[in-house]
Amino acid sequence: MLGALGEVFRAHGYEGASLALITEATGLGKGSLYHAFPGGKEQMAEEVLASIDAWFVREIYEPLRAAADPRQGIAEMFRGVDTYFHSGRRVCLIGVVALGSARDLFAERVKTYFVAWVDALAAALRKFGYAQAEARHLAEQVVLEIQGALVLARAVNDPKLFTRALERSQERLLEKQDGGVKQRRRPHIANR
Amino acid sequence: MLGALGEVFRAHGYEGASLALITEATGLGKGSLYHAFPGGKEQMAEEVLASIDAWFVREIYEPLRAAADPRQGIAEMFRGVDTYFHSGRRVCLIGVVALGSARDLFAERVKTYFVAWVDALAAALRKFGYAQAEARHLAEQVVLEIQGALVLARAVNDPKLFTRALERSQERLLEKQDGGVKQRRRPHIANR
DNA sequence: GTCTATAAAGCGATAGAC
DNA sequence: GTCTATCGCTTTATAGAC
């Protein structure tokens, strides 16, 4: 249900997703929709964004933090991201909203989605051996690359560009075996 | 004129930019607008996109190709980009369109904008000393980073994130002095 | 809960006076 | 070239039958 709604917003943006398109995609009449979402379209989008946010927290951010081996946790993040975005054929609704004019309506949700992502990844990178400041910059960099790859892949209509970007991003992150020596903050005791 | 139009599309997206908003921003009534753009809103957006494309070709891509010193040309590209995007406070209209539902209408323009950018940057990087394949990948990577940085900076409402990303991107590109030795294809004879 | 009918407003676009 | 008035149509949202 929220899934079908999300696909409509993804395909047409917040303003472009008319109730006519929504009824068509969900198979529900306006009456049913307004029964489920008294707040109308804005509430629909809000709940869709919330469910996406929750999905990422549950499936990506928390495993990333909980992973005993940060290297493996990060690898799983990239796998999860590749799956979620259908290897570059699916766009990021949060990113779409962030760029659109509906951004102000959902500013808080959009912000926390990205902040939580950067935080979780930075935590994993610290565990991997990077110093705090570098971990933050790298995490920011990776999230930004994913968003940019989605934009560019869609713009030139080449999903493989996304997959390639993910691979390069992951390689660059993990190329230091078990953390860079000079950036290392403290010995990491997991996986032993 | 096209500039004012562009800002409306940037702020509200293609579908969100109503003729009411456009008349307000341009100070022209609908009559005047349809006199100038018989094709209506679609033509307005098309001409705006074309003018942006032309601006980048003239101010960014061509100087990048023409620069005798590729290092300097690339540095000027980053400066131009930072200026154009108001140091992260201004969004990329082509990227906005690429993600939105109007993408199909302007698919050709959107694609050539990015392809031309990657091509021009890859040419400069080859001149700088990178091998062809690596130059292409790096160019793609840089353009993608710029788009991603715009998305993320806007999402978390922190323009400095954009500036930081540009700096890191440029540093990584130019860290090999006068081109990486092993990637070098042939001696470069410019600047002598 | 789901539907149809309908309201009120906004949309892109056109016509025609000036 | 710029304006106002207006046309159809679509929009979000509501009302009320079932």
> Chain A 99-118, CB below 8 Å of chain B: which residues?
99-101, 103, 107, 110-111, 113-115
Per-residue pLDDT of B8-67, as tens digits, reads 999 999 999 999 999 999 999 999 999 999 999 999 999 999 999 999 999 999 999 999
User: For the whole model, what pTM was predicted?
Assistant: 0.93
Of residues 26 to 85 in chain B, which lie within 7 A of strand C by their beta carbon? 30-31, 34, 38, 40-42
Sites in chain A below the pLDDT cut of 50: 179-188, 190-192
Per-residue pLDDT of A80-112, as tens digits, reads 999 999 999 999 999 999 999 999 999 999 999
Give the pLDDT of residue A97: 98
Output the distance from A20 CA to D10 C1' rounded to whole Å.
9
Q: Which residues 6+ apart lie within 8 Å of B132 measured at CB?
A: B122, B126, B185
Per-residue pLDDT of B134-173, as tens digits, reads 999 999 999 999 999 999 999 999 999 999 999 999 999 9
Report the alpha-carbon distance of residue A19 to residue B28 in Å, rounded. Answer: 31
- Which nucleotides of chain D are near protein (any atom < 7 Å from a CB)? 1-5, 10-17
Q: Which of A100, A110, A157 sits opposite B13 (nearest CB)?
A: A100
Per-residue pLDDT of B121-140, as tens digits, reads 999 999 999 999 999 999 99
Report the alpha-carbon distance of residue A72 to residue A57 in Å, rounded. Answer: 17
Q: Give chain B's mean pLDDT.
A: 93
Whether A148 and B145 have beta carbons less than 8 Å apart is answered as yes
Instruction: Tell me if chain B has a CB within 8 Å of the CB of A164.
Output: yes
Whether A184 and A128 have beta carbons less than 8 Å apart is answered as no
Which domains are seen in chain B, by residue range? 50-174 (1.10.357.10)
